[in-house]
Amino acid sequence: MIDLLLAALASALPLPLTGLVPWWAAALYALPLLMQVWRAGRGDPPAELGARPMNALSLACLALFVLDMAFLSRRLIQVAVHLSLSLIALKAFHLHAERDRAQFALLAFFLAVAGAANSTHPLLALHLLVLSALFTSWLLQRTGLTAGPARRLASAVTLACLVLAAPMFLLLPRLRGPYVPGGQTRAGEAETFTLDSLGLGGVVGTKDDNRVALRVRLEGGRVGEESLRLRVRTFDSFRKGIWGNAELRYRMRRFRSDGILWMGEREGKISRFLEIFPKDLSAQYLPLPYEAAGLEARLGYASAGNDGTTRLSTSVSQRQFHYRVFLDPAAAPVPAPWAAAHLALPEDLESDLRALAGEIMPDGQDPEAQIASLIRHFARGYRYAREDYSASTNPLREFLFIRKRGHCELYATAGALLLRARGIPARVAVGFLGGERNPLQDYYVVRFRNAHAWVEAWVNGGWAVVDPTPPEFRPALERSTLAGQVGFLWETVSFFWDRHVIGFALSDQLELAGAIGDRAETAGRMAAWLGLLLALTGAALWSARRVRTETGILKRYRRLRRRAAGALGADESTLAPEAVERAFLEREPALAEEAGEFFNAYRLASFGNSKGIVSQGARRAYGSLRRASRRWGRRQGQVPR
């Protein structure tokens, strides 16, 4: 009973993380289950409701279901989950019959499937293992097993499932995201980086969003702030408070067979590159640094814009792949020069903008000096603030002349239009700036709060980055505190999960299969060489053993001849083999058979066609003869040698 209640309780744990239910609803659902677990742990019978309260609450659940389906929830999966939660909480007070417990388990199992199908959280694997053990233990207890043996057997079954899941994970195809996406989407990412326009509030909406947008690892050098200024979009046309594009054009480009796409007119160096791992960023445009000369990705095609940005053919969840960006400023693509749209001003603000630009950037200054004057003007007379301009009919006018407080979109918009008012072509760019360094794995975490807007100005025959936002209010490279370093332990686990579990795709499976095939081929060659080496070693050992065997029988014969010469009082060198054999036969007649076997083996090894192989019988015969000859020396008062 406790296992079933705990399984129902654990089934709902992923639901708040996926947005299917709010946290307060999950806590409300957990209260009756925890109460029943507490009573069962004390040995008390479960609390029950009478027939009338049960019927009344059931009708209330039905009414909530209709209301939820008609007005509250946007997806059918949310409606089904809400109804299941209500029925489980109600059914927890009516579990006295076996049929009731089976229905309760079925509803809890549906919740577990819904939570797993809507989540890609790193703790999902642990959650599923716990649920598997709890459900299996409950099912085994239904067969008559007591709680202790049932739980031990359930743990063994769960471990077996885990062992079986490893090869299935490597072999079976999979999806990269939730199977049934039913949670709430976060505003900000889609508005800023996937639409073809930018309002004066699209980026600031992400400033409180701590989710990880992407991770960046640099190879071949150190990360500087500009290396982590990742441009996603540019906008060149400003009308009615909204940025759009009038001059932007894209051209389809195909990746080479090695997966590399050089974006400029020539190939660059590949000694220094960024490796970018998008996580929750869902966009059609790739975040790229300004130094980008080429891409390496598992894509067939990409579209290169005349502004230097890169667009995918369709909008995809970018956690489905990662890509390398080769950094070589000399080979980076040269964006198209300025056009008429880069000097256009909104009609309702044109005169005011020209007047203010003349005050800030007086005549006689070169473009670099004018840009410096513009940045000083914003640093001295304006403050950064997340002001709400939604009720304003002209947010830019209020920012420039009245409030003088605003966020990066307002700074970038005002800066671009004021530069245009002085004849300097300019446009607005949006992307990410800065990040946090993970000291455990040496990569940078870029969050949605690192979203930023700045200006690109045409200066000295090229587009230059101009950031009017005061430096102290821009996103920047951050050093983690002690508490942050502890938090990076979980970030490291999350990165491993995203890269090697969620991001493990068909291409990874094919690469793994190829690596296994190459290693199998290498292992086969190594096995062949090892077999040949073992054969040669065996032959050498056999030859050495043969020599040792032949040498050994001669040594044994000489020892016996020395004993015989000592017993006979004769010169050892003058004794023939027959004389030595006769000496043993006369003194040890009981060993006549052993003497015959040994001396025959000696004659075959020394004078015959024998290959020098000595039988076990000859060895045993020598041992018997030697032990007997030791007694000869003791009888004569000599120490045998």
Q: How does pLDDT run across 239-293, given as a tens digit for each residue?
A: 888 999 988 888 888 888 888 888 877 777 777 788 888 887 766 788 999 888 8
1-43 confidence digits (pLDDT tens): 787 888 888 888 878 877 788 888 888 888 888 888 888 887 7
The number of distinct structural domains making up the chain is 3
* φ and ψ at residue 279, rounded to 5 degrees: -120, -80
357-376 confidence digits (pLDDT tens): 999 998 888 999 999 999 99
Same-domain pairing of 311 and 162: no
Has residue 352 been placed in a domain?
yes
Has residue 377 been placed in a domain?
yes
* Whether the predicted pLDDT of 480 surpasses 50: yes
Please state, in angstroms and rounded to a whole number, the distance separating the CA atoms of residues 581 and 29: 102
Same-domain pairing of 581 and 456: no
Helix (H, G, I), strand (E, B) or coil at 436: strand
Identify the domain boundary among 143, 171, 199: 171
DSSP 8-state symbol, 615: P
571-612 confidence digits (pLDDT tens): 887 788 888 888 888 888 888 888 888 888 888 777 655 544
Same-domain pairing of 222 and 348: yes
Same-domain pairing of 430 and 561: no
Please state, in angstroms and rounded to a whole number, the distance separating the CA atoms of residues 342 and 491: 42
295-319 confidence digits (pLDDT tens): 888 777 888 888 888 888 765 544 4
Same-domain pairing of 471 and 340: yes
Please state, in angstroms and rounded to a whole number, the distance separating the CA atoms of residues 431 and 448: 10
Has residue 574 been placed in a domain?
yes
Number of C-alpha atoms within 13 angstroms, CB side, residue 62?
6
Q: Hey, how many other C-beta atoms are within 10 angstroms of the C-beta on 532?
A: 10
Task: Return left, alpha or beta for 98; rule: phi > 0 is left, psi -120 to 50 is alpha, else beta.
Answer: alpha
What mean pLDDT comes out for the span 218-226?
65
Q: Which helix (H) or strand (E) holds 243?
A: strand 242-244
Helix then strand then coil, in percent of the chain rounded to 5, is 55, 15, 30
DSSP 8-state symbol, 574: G
Token pair listed for 497: 């999960």
pLDDT at residue 421, as a whole number:
94
543: amino acid identity, one letter: S
pLDDT confidence band for 189 (50 / 70 / 90):
very low
DSSP E strand boundaries for 476-630: 477-478
pLDDT at residue 238, as a whole number:
92
Highest mean pLDDT among 175-184, 463-472, 556-565: 463-472
Mean pLDDT of the chain: 79
Same-domain pairing of 463 and 554: no
pLDDT at residue 82, as a whole number:
86
* Whether the predicted pLDDT of 631 surpasses 60: yes
* Whether the predicted pLDDT of 554 surpasses 50: yes
Has residue 511 been placed in a domain?
no
Q: Which residues contact 597 (CB under 8 A, 6 or more apart)?
A: 615, 617, 618, 621
Same-domain pairing of 312 and 427: yes
Has residue 180 been placed in a domain?
no
Output 629 or 539, whichever has higher pLDDT.
629
Identify the domain boundary among 171, 202, 237: 171
Has residue 531 been placed in a domain?
yes
What mean pLDDT comes out for the span 394-412?
91
Same-domain pairing of 374 and 425: yes
What mean pLDDT comes out for the span 191-200?
68
**Alpha carbon separation from 598 to 242, 379, 513, 568 (Å, rounded):** 111, 110, 62, 20
Same-domain pairing of 163 and 223: no
pLDDT at residue 344, as a whole number:
93
Please state, in angstroms and rounded to a whole number, the distance separating the CA atoms of residues 430 and 215: 18
**Alpha carbon separation from 518 to 371, 513, 528 (Å, rounded):** 58, 9, 15
pLDDT at residue 423, as a whole number:
93
pTM above 0.75, yes or no: no
Same-domain pairing of 193 and 231: yes
Has residue 641 been placed in a domain?
no
Same-domain pairing of 438 and 529: no
Please state, in angstroms and rounded to a whole number, the distance separating the CA atoms of residues 420 and 236: 11
What mean pLDDT comes out for the span 619-632?
83
Identify the domain boundary among 467, 502, 537: 502
Same-domain pairing of 90 and 227: no
pLDDT confidence band for 184 (50 / 70 / 90):
very low
Has residue 624 been placed in a domain?
yes
What mean pLDDT comes out for the span 121-142?
76
* Whether the predicted pLDDT of 320 surpasses 60: no
Helix (H, G, I), strand (E, B) or coil at 271: coil
Residue 566 sits in which domain range? Answer: 523-635
pLDDT at residue 187, as a whole number:
39
